[in-house]
Structure 1
């Protein structure tokens, strides 16, 4: 009745129960941490719409937008002792055709133009970085549970990593375009957490994470300006 196999099974079952309880407790401690992410500046600095091949693997020419932007954000409060990494990305969004705004019920177009992964000091060894950068990270985090500079973003006239395209091949003359900052917190133990849509106890919504509305320029206007410049020369 109490064979070695049964005893091993009982011991393993007890171990998994204890491990699950400890993991649940660790995940619950995130609720005690104050999260107050905020954005000081999120704005476009240059917007262009050109026609060509947005990617080297594109088979045909199409319109695509290049949006440069500036960002000043403080996401350092998202780092706790249970944080493994923080995924940050900026999207450009605009209403679907025939809808003046997202309130009309039509889904918005959304395209990622920039992203970045910020690791916590305890997870720096998982980042794909060189030895020199690794030494700097270790030096900055020495004696600290969380490096205060983690999550503080200051980007000036940042070039996008990805161009904006559309299945129709046309993106020029789009109105009511906005930039939005998103984040995703990956913990060591627990569930992934995304942008808070509403305040939840000590977890606050991302303040000022939306830019002012702007329009994508017209290709015709840009072509006309080039012709005018050539004629004047």
Structure 2
């Protein structure tokens, strides 16, 4: 009555339906696990503004900022048996001089540091050297969830990326703040980012904003020579 092709289509349709239902059930289990991320310390420790070429491919000299920072945060509650890895990054943000009324962006945002934290089941995907990767796997051997994952204690961290601006000027910029962000990447389900409001057992990231600070001015060559003399 049915050809081999029709029977294969029916079997494949049934398989995909079952797989979709199982995947939906797995993804929904994340809602049952509380998420209570928090930040203890997030502050700049050293801020410099330099004039030069921030990247090797830059065509001209411009002002760019180098911000070192310290961070203490507990993001361990974001790791469940369905968590593949956690993407964490810190941004520097400051208001635009023109404001939203002039057609420009109301604020500026630039990533200065990021990191990927893998779960024990995804350690083989970590972009680490062989020795560091071997130690990482050994520390999480036999664990589906490692309680120490996501606990960050960073002191005077040098940024991965410098801050620039299309205008080429960032010196003496006021009301700059650092903000911590995260992105949870599950094995099955949707990507989730920082929450603006509490959602059932998922809580917002507390204290993820530093105090306001001002980027310093650039030291002039004449002043530097006088100081040296």
- TM-score range relative to shorter protein: over 0.9
CA drift of 1:138 comes to 1.6
- Which residue matches 2:35? 35
Per-residue CA shift, 1:26-55, capped at 9, x if unaligned?
A: 011110011111000000000010100111
- Which residue matches 1:88? 88
CA drift of 1:8 comes to 1.2
CA drift of 1:106 comes to 5.2
- Which residue matches 1:70? 70
Aligned residue for 1:183, secondary structure, equals strand
- Which residue matches 1:198? 197
- Which residue matches 1:111? 110
- Which residue matches 2:217? 218
Cα RMSD over matched residues? Answer: 1.6
Aligned counterparts of 1:35 and 1:169: Cα–Cα separation in 2: 40
- Which residue matches 2:227? 229
- Which residue matches 1:61? 61
Aligned counterparts of 1:149 and 1:225: Cα–Cα separation in 2: 48
Aligned residue for 1:219, secondary structure, equals coil
Aligned counterparts of 1:154 and 1:223: Cα–Cα separation in 2: 37
- Which residue matches 2:162? 163
Aligned counterparts of 2:74 and 2:223: Cα–Cα separation in 1: 40
Is there any run of 5+ residues in structure 2 with no aligned partner, and where? none
CA drift of 1:176 comes to 0.3
Aligned counterparts of 1:187 and 1:52: Cα–Cα separation in 2: 41
Aligned residue for 1:116, secondary structure, equals strand
Once the two structures are overlaid, the 10-residue window that deviates more, 183-192 or 3-12, is 3-12
Per-residue CA shift, 1:91-140, capped at 9, x if unaligned?
A: 000000144x9xxx952100000000111111111122222122211211
TM-score by length of 1: 0.93
TM-score by length of 2: 0.94
Aligned residue for 1:136, secondary structure, equals helix
* Matched length: 226
The runs of 4+ residues in structure 1 deviating greater than 4 Å are: 222-225
Is there any run of 5+ residues in structure 1 with no aligned partner, and where? none
